[in-house]
Amino acid sequence: MTDRSPRVDPPAGDGWRRPPDAQPAAGGDRLVLVVDDEADLLQIVSDRLVAAGYRVVTARDGIEALTRARESRPGCIILDLKMPRLGGFEALPEIRQAAPAARVIVLTGSPNRPLREACRARGADEFVLKPFDPGELLRLTAQAFDRD
């Protein structure tokens, strides 16, 4: 049986969508929520973020992502779109509501321009195509915490 509990590791935009006074919770300063149903990708992204000094919480679908976003109030959310139970696209407005100060980076295999625009309209800040450059993902994640 696979352990589906969240993984939390110790430390190692566009402002129009979030209220101007929205701030991450105290623990969310360098906390990233990574949401993907592919276990290998989830592990790779999490490991890179932890190595770069971030704390990471993971979720495997949109339902888990909503719970984690409400519980942990991350400063950044890296979100896959196509997942079982509830996809990232469908969950995006509620995730934005649960974590209004978080920067949302959509990570997907679809280069569809209308999809990109629809994601932005639903609250996404960035759109990164798979396969992705890990350095670019780290740069975008860092921007989430350097936007004063």
Locate the domains of the chain by residue range. Answer: 23-145
Scanning the structure block, which residue is given the tokens 């679908």?
A: 61
How far is 144 from 15, CA to CA, in rounded Å? 11
On the CB side of 34, CA atoms within 13 Å amount to 27
The CA R_g of the chain, rounded to the nearest whole Å, is: 14
Q: What tens digit of pLDDT does each residue of 71-128 get?
A: 999 999 999 999 999 999 999 999 999 999 999 999 988 888 899 999 999 999 999 9
pLDDT at 108: 86
Q: What fold characterizes domain 23-145? A: Rossmann fold (3.40.50)
Closest to 69 (Cα-Cα) out of 78, 118, 5: 78
Which tens digits make up the pLDDT trace of 3-47? Answer: 343 333 333 333 223 333 344 434 446 999 999 999 999 999 999
| Cα 3 from Cα 122, distance rounded (Å) | 31
